[in-house]
Amino acid sequence: MEYKRIKVEMKDTIAILTLNHPEALNAITARMLFELRDIVGKLNDASSEARCLLITGAGRGFCSGANLTDPDQVPPEPNSGDSMDSTHNPLFLQLRDLRIPIVTAVNGPAAGVGMSLALMGDIVLAGRSAYFFQAFRQIGLIPDGGATYILPRLVGLARALELSLLAEKLPAQKALDWGLINRVYDDERLIPEAMELAASLASGPTIALNLMRKAYWQSMDNTYEQQLHLEAVLQLQALATEDATEGRMAFYQKRKPLFSGK
């Protein structure tokens, strides 16, 4: 399909997804949401050559949240209704279950559901001028996009409530200090550094990285015993891959492994 609100390009095995509505600080419209779900579905297909997804925003912002004056129209989905369960939530579940790692490069404001999208990165990078903003209080709504699940687990309940109840902007450096994100770079270095990190992930053992993502997501709700069992199950799957064989051979031969993603 033709994308109007996102841009997608492949660089080697890195899929670069750019939210592309800069005049609205890349606020999420129905059209953008439809396109995001389409491309993430394609990237999750086994036939896709992508081995890492990099998400960023066009212009001076990452994503300012939902567009409350959405002019876009999209093809209706059967029995979709208007609830979050049939609109935004499927995208976040797609991203959680994606078969490849995700890097988000937050190049400006990440507000509302845009903050939730930014935090879906396995590695979250930010430019020094970026900030994070739980803006829902300002419009009389509650955090969504999984924010009430993710934030307490990243920064603790007290800080999660502070961000949501006070709706104060959280600068990138403070977000780093709080453990909300992974790294902060000068603005002009953000995308080059993000590309370098994405390239490192894309050259890794793709199936094992996917299994790691599954293990950590499930760890948020598992008991210790359940997690030990899950590790045993997933480790058997990892051991059966070509990359695991290559990794062991490279170790014995004292060389750098060349992973194929299989």
**47-102 pLDDT tens trace:** 999 999 999 999 999 999 998 887 654 444 444 445 788 889 999 999 999 999 99
| Interatomic CA distance for residues 63 and 36, integer angstroms | 13
Q: What is the pLDDT of residue 73?
A: 45
On average, the pLDDT of the chain sits at 94
Percent of the chain with pLDDT over 70: 95
Q: What is the pLDDT of residue 72?
A: 54
| Per-residue burial over 202-224, b = 16 or more CB atoms within 10 Å of its CB, e = otherwise | bbbbbbbbbbbbbbeeeeeeeee
Mind giving me the DSSP string for 120-188? T-SEEEEETT-EEE-GGGGGT----TTHHHHHHHHH-HHHHHHHHHH---EEHHHHHHHTSSSEEE-GG
Q: What is the pLDDT of residue 79?
A: 46
β-pairing, 6-11 with 14-19? antiparallel
**100-154 pLDDT tens trace:** 999 999 999 999 999 999 999 999 999 999 999 999 999 999 999 999 999 999 9
| Interatomic CA distance for residues 245 and 251, integer angstroms | 10
**1-25 pLDDT tens trace:** 899 999 999 999 999 999 999 999 9
**171-204 pLDDT tens trace:** 999 999 999 999 999 999 999 999 999 999 999 9
In this structure, what token pair is assigned to residue 213? 């993502």
pTM of this prediction?
0.93
